[in-house]
Structure 1
């Protein structure tokens, strides 16, 4: 997104008022989709259309500027990664991995939780957290039923650790893609700054889950044989996909030296996989791509692009600037906690989209906003763990637990808002506390200018 360089204080005007009102109304519609029943993408598209029309009428925005406001790097990267995942799921590779982990654990519940949590976290480094829990959620239930134990600790851990793991890499979570693309942060830089912090958060969640689910994890289990369930449905495509992903990781690491955007790596990997995987059906693979999410992103970029062109967010940013300049460390930690709390209550993607131009505006004025980028990434990533509605991954996990409780008639299998508050919210608070301490201790590292 382009940012406007301020030479003097901005004054309030009609363009700011109209664009701000459209932004606020759209966000209210997005955040209350559970009340009115309209999907958030519909409100994002409606808000984007209104912004273009109002901008053209008032002279601060037009369709051409709207097209340039879309961050195509994010859209293409997400679309390509979704397609790769849709090719990998039918091969049976993820199922075989989960059953292998269950077999290794030999009925020891915390070991099983730690191993499944590790798998979920590692996969979330490259694949988005929603995809990860969609793959592992049903498998966790099958494994738990075979062991005759409650799946609740494992389901909750999968949601928490997928959200946390995604924070570590540029491609692990949609807000990271937005931040990295806007701030021109490459894959290596992102992982170097976030990797260690996420490792500490990961260990914190595992320890917290062992403590919070101490009773459930001590229950006796049966010892079924999972080894016979480890066969792959399509080994050729599965191993080809693993090989392509390995090459993609290398290319992600060197993409900056190659002068490639991350989407180029993802699309190139997808293209190679389509040629190697002879059994891949293009139509069925593309059917699983979440077009509504891609439309949501594109519409958000158009919406926020209009607000940016009216300079409304920069108007707000000039009130934040003195505080940032006076105490950058405190401002960074406060942004982390504010982003986390808001992301626990509402979707983190719109919040990230609104914060990006504010930070870019301050950066254009010569302020070192490097630690603010890292704080924003940590806050919106970790904050999703705070409530059952904090991320789409959480919503999916809660939904399948409710379905299981209804099918079995056992209400103890239902992950309720109260249960999440008792077991999930403490994990979020502990990870934020750990992240704040790391930010404080290594602030010189995080505050090193990015460019």
Structure 2
């Protein structure tokens, strides 16, 4: 196949694959895997080249964390946390919404946002039933909180996992550079959502007492397993924090944590591996090959050259362009394939433009892709997961209903991110100021949804399905 024909063919396969993923007519894992098969059969890439383009660090990190979380969820600790938060909010629906959003954001940063919503949504339905309130506002807030929280760390959102693997940026790099602005965006977003929903989710005092009567301890199913899981999870997160210093890939940390947990729990490996979302894994593998074909035939390099001409090779305009392009694109298409396309593009921009330090562009891509996923109901994997779980339980989240609330908030978050990136580039000391401000804002927010007082209550079990 001639070079020009290869360019046209690889581009066509990429666009068709992308269109099928967006249309959701065929499962995205099937679409990506079929696209990869066509690329190899057509001879654009041979098997060795295809394997080269698969980022096994990303794959390993995802598999390892899925196993750890899959075993941990059997303990009931996530249901415990949700009910404990609802009781701290004294059964008030609007404060429960904020408390569940906080847990969702924190767990999304420490685990990942897709896993977090899988854990939190069933409890949310149970609490909404007790309060006899509309569950949709809770779900919308949790979607937004999961994507915002996931932006803060290396392991919180698949785009960050991919960026970290491609750049060798570590866990603490993401925490130091992204968490301060994420905290500001999160608190402002939840404050606005509380204003929007404060009149829509009200309930009677006796129903609030039902929440206070729940006993969160009943949700812990296996104390011994819980201790082992929390110990291994703590060691794994510590490993992420230190992995740059001990010169180990993040995938090695995650897979080692999974192996240790399987060892100490004597869990049946076949049962434990059921918690791995294999369609997600194969989706990533297929996607890496399809995007790798574009890189191989020179399409990515040509786009990078054009981007350099548009921005004049200047870092600040390039970063802001990537931020807004990523945000708008990720709102309407899944941010995972978009980021998979952008990573080699940014690498080529650095190589062609002679830019040594590309970190500013990576933070722009991360903020744009992760926060942009909040723009529409199909913008991120966590969004789609919540839609499916809600529909199974008889609740429907409409595209326009979500869009009217989420898209303006997404734009606001990108404006804040843009100001942060501008200050980050022009005045580095601003990061220290913002970090201090973010800590104060977060502390005030946590105190606002907690009440130190206690209310005696009868123990009552809650059904989480």
State the TM-score, normalizing by the size of structure 2.
0.86
| 2:427 pairs with 1:438 | no
2:293 aligns with 306
CA distance, structure 2, for counterparts of residue 20 and residue 226 of structure 1: 59
> After the TM superposition, which residues 249-398 of structure 1 pair with which residues of structure 2 at under 5 Å, given as runs?
249-278=237-266, 280-365=267-352, 366-367=354-355, 368-398=357-387
CA distance, structure 1, for counterparts of residue 35 and residue 20 of structure 2: 9
Count the aligned residue pairs: 421
| 2:39 pairs with 1:51 | yes
**TM-fit CA distance, 1:403:** 4.1
1:75 aligns with 59
> After the TM superposition, which residues 149-298 of structure 1 pair with which residues of structure 2 at under 5 Å, given as runs?
149-221=133-205, 222=207, 223-224=209-210, 225-231=212-218, 232-278=220-266, 280-298=267-285
CA distance, structure 2, for counterparts of residue 259 and residue 424 of structure 1: 40
Say which SS state the counterpart of residue 199 (structure 2) adopts.
helix
State the TM-score, normalizing by the size of structure 1.
0.89
1:422 aligns with 404
Contact residue 132 and residue 203 of structure 2 kept, 8 A: no
The Cα RMSD (Å) is: 1.9
Cα 1:30/1:418, change in 2 over 3 Å: closer
Contact residue 327 and residue 373 of structure 2 kept, 8 A: yes
> After the TM superposition, which residues 93-104 of structure 1 pair with which residues of structure 2 at under 5 Å, given as runs?
93-104=77-88
Contact residue 333 and residue 375 of structure 1 kept, 8 A: yes
Cα 1:312/1:209, change in 2 over 3 Å: same
CA distance, structure 1, for counterparts of residue 326 and residue 166 of structure 2: 18
CA distance, structure 2, for counterparts of residue 98 and residue 331 of structure 1: 41
**TM-fit CA distance, 1:271:** 1.5
> After the TM superposition, which residues 19-168 of structure 1 pair with which residues of structure 2 at under 5 Å, given as runs?
19-33=10-24, 37-56=25-44, 61-168=45-152
CA distance, structure 2, for counterparts of residue 170 and residue 324 of structure 1: 28
**TM-fit CA distance, 1:326:** 4.8
Contact residue 159 and residue 397 of structure 1 kept, 8 A: yes
CA distance, structure 1, for counterparts of residue 237 and residue 72 of structure 2: 17
Structure 2 unaligned blocks of 5 or more: 430-465
Contact residue 75 and residue 226 of structure 2 kept, 8 A: yes
Q: Which moved more, 1:206-215 or 1:158-167?
A: 206-215
Contact residue 193 and residue 446 of structure 1 kept, 8 A: no
Cα 1:445/1:256, change in 2 over 3 Å: farther
Contact residue 93 and residue 131 of structure 2 kept, 8 A: no
Cα 1:302/1:147, change in 2 over 3 Å: same
CA distance, structure 2, for counterparts of residue 335 and residue 267 of structure 1: 32
Q: Which moved more, 1:431-440 or 1:226-235?
A: 226-235
Cα 1:117/1:109, change in 2 over 3 Å: same
Runs (4+) off by over 6 Å: none
Say which SS state the counterpart of residue 400 (structure 1) adopts.
helix
